[in-house]
Each structure stands twice: as C-alpha cells, then as structure tokens.
Structure 1
C-alpha cells in the first residue's frame, strides 16, 4: 500500500522521503486547507526528492466554484509546475450546485497529456459521490486518484461510504480512492480493514504534537508504514 503525506517545503519533503513516504502533496497555507505553493517552494521540493510530488493547485479557500479569472490563475500555476518538470497536481472544481465542473477539468487536462491529477476533497461536497465518481472515471487517464473522507468530516465517520467507493473503483477500473482526513496511527488499522484502499493520505497526525508547526514524528510514521505494509 502507498502512503502519501502533506509537506510544506523542501526540508519536510526530504524528511518524508527518508522516513519512507511513497508520495508527497505539497501545499501552502495548510491552516486554510491547503493552497497553491509558491514557484520557489515547488522548485525546491521537486529538486529535493525522487518520489512523486503532487502540487496543490487552489487559488483560494472560499469555495471550489471558480470564476474564469480564477481559472486563468490556475492555468498559469499549472504551467509553472510543468515548466519545472512536475506533472502531478491536486485540483478540483465544482459548479454552483456542487456537481463536478467537467468543462474546467477538461481545460486543465488539455494543458498536458502527462498531467497526473488528484481530485481533492471538493469531492466531499458533491450531492452524490457515486454519480461524481462515474463522471471522474471518464477522465481516468489523467485523474488518477480521488482524495476523500467519504463525504463525512473524517475517514472514520465515512468508512462505510469509502468502502463503497473503493468497490466502485475496482468495478469500473477508475480513479483510485485515497482516504484522507482524520487518519491516525491509532485508527488506520480499523479503517483499512473496513475500506481496503491501496493508498492513504496523512496530514498532521504524523507530526510531532500533531501540528504542522513541527516536523514528522519518526516513530509514528514508521508505525503507520508498518501497518500499511502488513508488518
């Protein structure tokens, strides 16, 4: 199984890789749920690690219903990632009724055939996750995974829905379901036994004192990795 962790800079990225993370999500403004990092931060991280890097592309934290001006910023930010040699992004856009904005998603995909997209937790805002999954499955060549807590505030509360989504993922051979939000070393075992996902996304639970102000807690990271690897 694969472990993805949130990082904020090159130093954290290197530490995450050294501790055994399989992939990282690079964000800024984590207190706002994660926004697009600076050009310098993206460059630093891409040059610091050999594991895959997914760069958050989110211009603001108000909502996921973007204007054409927002999309102009988003396209420029993605172009910068591509210019730096990156291909992984974390993105999600909705209509005012919270259904998937396919038009904007298609615009993003047209920027590069190599884009590797994580559709982020905007997915937890949609009225029907099953319907939304079927929509995203049409773009599975680029939308590789969906970060979700099953429509609930955390993965423990959403584990039954996550199991259903994981089963749909296998049935349709679509984007991977990646549980994220509220995962800890204490509950990952129970959640995995229920959901049986192949990728998991961790945030502050892997940090010393569970705050993004501190670095990774090596003991906790290794505990999670051991559980995910079945050791």
Structure 2
C-alpha cells in the first residue's frame, strides 16, 4: 500500500498525525520557511511520545540549498544530535552553486547518518539535472527522494515522477507538494510508492486578548493569531483511500 508521510510542525501535530494513522512523520519547524530543524526540546519530546517513525529535517535556514562552511558544520552537529536521540531517519538536501548535488558534502552526511534512512528533500526540485541527480543519490545510498517532479506542485510534476520511478534502482520516489485528499487518487493510479502531505488546516488562536497593531513576523500583514496544524480527519481520510485502493488492486 502507498505509504503516507505527514509533515508536522510541532509535538501536537505529530500526535494528531500518529493517532489518525500516518505511516511516518517529517518533523520540522518554521512552516513559512518551508521547514527548518526542530528545537532540541521538540526533538526530545517527540522521541518520547511518538511511536511511528519520525524523520526530522536538517535545515539551518530558509532560502537556497547552497550552504556556507559554518552552516554545514551546524548541520553535522544536528545530525549527530538526532542520531544520538535514536531517530531512525532524517531529511536533508544540499546543492552546489551550479545547482548540482553537492556530492562531497552529501558523502559526509551519509557517513554521519550511518544506520539511519536519509531522505533527500525538495532541494531535488531545484537541481539542474534530475536524472543525473537520481543516479548520484542512488550511488550515495539515499533511501528516498521527496520531490514534486520539479514543478510547483506534485500533481503538475506527475510526468517526471513517473520517469524517476521507472529509472530508480533504489531510492523510493516520494511525491510531495500539494498532495491532498482531493488529488491523492492520481498518485495511487501512477503507482507512486509514497506520498508526503501536510494534511493541514489553519486554526485560530484560543487567546481571548489580542493585541492589535503589533506583529512578531517580518510580514506586518501576518495573522499572529492563526497557525497551520495537521487535520486528523484529513489524515484518516487519506489513509482510508489508500487502504481502499490496496484492497481493490
């Protein structure tokens, strides 16, 4: 059956995803940045409370995937920490200045992550040559590639997703970006082995007092009293659709 990974931004979302039947969790912080490394406290608490596989993202900042020496050193420290905590896998990705896989650094990542399943994230969708990148990541021993097929969303990238799946000798091709209940059947029909979704909804703050005219975000128009959370009903519905598809196959 197609596996369902849910992107979670915090402990409460992770608990919701597990209870709703998610197969795996990608654990992140900072949704508006597209996902950054979670804090030490979150990593410790999630490891204590969640029983399904959780793969934290290792990403020190938003923006591109070409990192300085200091940023890369930080990433290696974070890898050591999540490995020490006993996480079974992690999510990471890096490119060189010409948009190719940074082979030398990824080799160091694989050495530092020995014994863990490494997912190469959507940095893949920014790379110069996806077929070459697939070959390189295969040789590195990457467990899976999270990709939208180099499009803004995975539904638009289905053609490349199919091609990558046909070419892949080892890494699982996991479709992500815009995967939701309404289009999940399309990925099932293309026999995509794994899908990645935030399965989320915007949730209003429970605070009664709301200070007007002050924003914590650099975006002055941001709503400080609204946040993105995993919708357990959506996760459960996605799992039910996947189970039904497996039964019908």
Residue 196 in 1 paired to residue 191 in 2?
A: yes
Indicate conservation of the 8 Å contact 2:65/2:93, yes or no. Answer: yes
- The whole-number CA distance in structure 2 between the counterparts of 1:44 and 1:17 is 14
Indicate conservation of the 8 Å contact 2:125/2:151, yes or no. Answer: yes
Residues 218 and 37 of structure 1, relative CA distance in 2, 3 Å threshold = closer
Q: With CA pairs under 8 Å and 6+ residues apart, which has the higher RCO, 1 or 2?
A: 2
Secondary structure of 2:90 counterpart? strand
TM-score for the superposition, normalised by structure 1: 0.91
Structure 1: tracts of 5 or more residues without a match? none
- Alignment-derived partner of residue 99 in structure 2: 98
Of 18-27 and 209-218, the range deviating more from structure 2: 209-218
Of 112-121 and 29-38, the range deviating more from structure 2: 112-121
Secondary structure of 1:186 counterpart? coil
Residue 217 in 1 paired to residue 244 in 2?
A: no
- Alignment-derived partner of residue 156 in structure 1: 155
Residue 70 in 1 paired to residue 71 in 2?
A: yes
Residues 84 and 97 of structure 1, relative CA distance in 2, 3 Å threshold = same
- The whole-number CA distance in structure 1 between the counterparts of 2:4 and 2:149 is 18
What is the CA distance between 1:210 and its match in structure 2?
A: 8.5
- The whole-number CA distance in structure 2 between the counterparts of 1:159 and 1:175 is 17
Residue 185 in 1 paired to residue 199 in 2?
A: no
What is the CA distance between 1:217 and its match in structure 2?
A: 2.7
- The whole-number CA distance in structure 1 between the counterparts of 2:145 and 2:203 is 24
Residues 112 and 222 of structure 1, relative CA distance in 2, 3 Å threshold = closer
Indicate conservation of the 8 Å contact 2:147/2:175, yes or no. Answer: yes
- The whole-number CA distance in structure 2 between the counterparts of 1:125 and 1:39 is 29
Indicate conservation of the 8 Å contact 1:9/1:44, yes or no. Answer: no
Of 208-217 and 113-122, the range deviating more from structure 2: 208-217
Aligned length: 223
- Alignment-derived partner of residue 9 in structure 1: 10
* Structure possessing the higher radius of gyration over alpha carbons: 2
Indicate conservation of the 8 Å contact 2:203/2:229, yes or no. Answer: no
Structure 2: tracts of 5 or more residues without a match? 205-225
- The whole-number CA distance in structure 2 between the counterparts of 1:217 and 1:62 is 27
Indicate conservation of the 8 Å contact 1:13/1:48, yes or no. Answer: no
TM-score for the superposition, normalised by structure 2: 0.85
What is the CA distance between 1:139 and its match in structure 2?
A: 1.9
Indicate conservation of the 8 Å contact 2:17/2:232, yes or no. Answer: no
Indicate conservation of the 8 Å contact 1:148/1:177, yes or no. Answer: yes
- Alignment-derived partner of residue 166 in structure 2: 167
Of 150-159 and 209-218, the range deviating more from structure 2: 209-218
Secondary structure of 1:197 counterpart? coil
Secondary structure of 1:138 counterpart? helix
Indicate conservation of the 8 Å contact 2:79/2:113, yes or no. Answer: no
- The whole-number CA distance in structure 2 between the counterparts of 1:121 and 1:214 is 20
